[in-house]
Amino acid sequence: MSAKSTMFNPKRYHKSQITFHFILLPLSIFMSLPIVYIINDAFKPFTELFAFPPRFLVRKPTFENFRLLFSFSQESGIPISRYVFNSVITTGVVVILTVFLCSITAFALSKMEFSGRKTLFKINTYALMFVPIAVAIPRYLIIVELGVYNTYLAHIIPLLALPVGLFLVKQFTDQVPNELIEAAVVDGATNWEVYWKIILPLTKSALVTVAFLSFQISWMSIESSNIYVDQEALRTLPFYLQTLSQTSGNIVASRGITAAGWLIMFLPNLIIFFVLQSKVMESMAQSGIK
């Protein structure tokens, strides 16, 4: 290892690294402020929520906002547990199917020869330019034509296409040596066995990232409950929280309830990121390496 490499990446703490700490420590503290605010806001009593000047940290934490959240949902006719159940089921299915579709499609586009392969990948690349609102009407027409309006599938089908996920997994699949696949085929492996025993293990970091991105998109999605579903019992937690202040009839009174609800929405994202962050960072670092 060269002296320059040792200076930038020492095995133990070195005084030369103190410059990086002076830069990164204040930046990390600043970036963590929204997380600290969300957590504190959910535990603030009514008097602190509307205190002036506003208080960043809670002084007298309380669980009253969470109690009011659950009691209000019971009074509205549909308990909050129903919205949570809908979100968990649809998000779980979306994540599993998205990871499978991205991985198997990336395998086909990267390692198989067939007509139109490059064109299909270009279409996926062009799809990265479109924001969800731009395809809302075509998606609605497809949902209606498929006959899945007002079903759980209306939450699932629109979110299965993840162009950035397919692009990322294909970049990783391109790095898998063709010689390894050819050797497996010579030994009698089928395409399915190559996919299951070679492609999946070697692209695990990218698949974890796709799962995380898919979870975020599905867990926070409001579009499906807004456009493709009009039965309240089939709607998800984000939609319920968004409409909480309107349905309560008192925006001031529902301030704490909304804060508690959005903390419940935020915590799964935070926990999953902490669990998977090493794989996510690894995939981002290696996605451009050939």
Domains of the chain: 86-233+265-286 (1.10.3720.10)
Kindly list the distances between the CA atom of residue 80 and the CA atoms of 71, 77, 247, in Å, as whole numbers in the listed order: 9, 10, 14
Say whether pLDDT at 18 is over 80: no
What tokens does 281 get?
């960072």
Rounded to whole angstroms, the Cα distance separating 30 from 26 reads: 6
Query: How confident is residue 5, by pLDDT bands cut at 50, 70 and 90?
Result: very low
Q: Taking the CB of residue 86, how many other CB atoms lie within 10 A of it?
A: 21
Q: For 57-186, where are the alpha helices, taking DSSP H only?
A: 64-75, 80-111, 117-127, 136-146, 153-156, 163-174, 178-186
Task: For residue range 94-107, list pLDDT tens digits in order.
Answer: 999 999 999 999 99
Q: Is the pTM of this model over 0.75?
A: yes
Task: For residue range 52-72, list pLDDT tens digits in order.
Answer: 787 888 888 888 888 888 887
At residue 92, the pLDDT reads 95
Residue of 199 and 12 predicted with greater confidence: 199
Query: How confident is residue 1, by pLDDT bands cut at 50, 70 and 90?
Result: very low
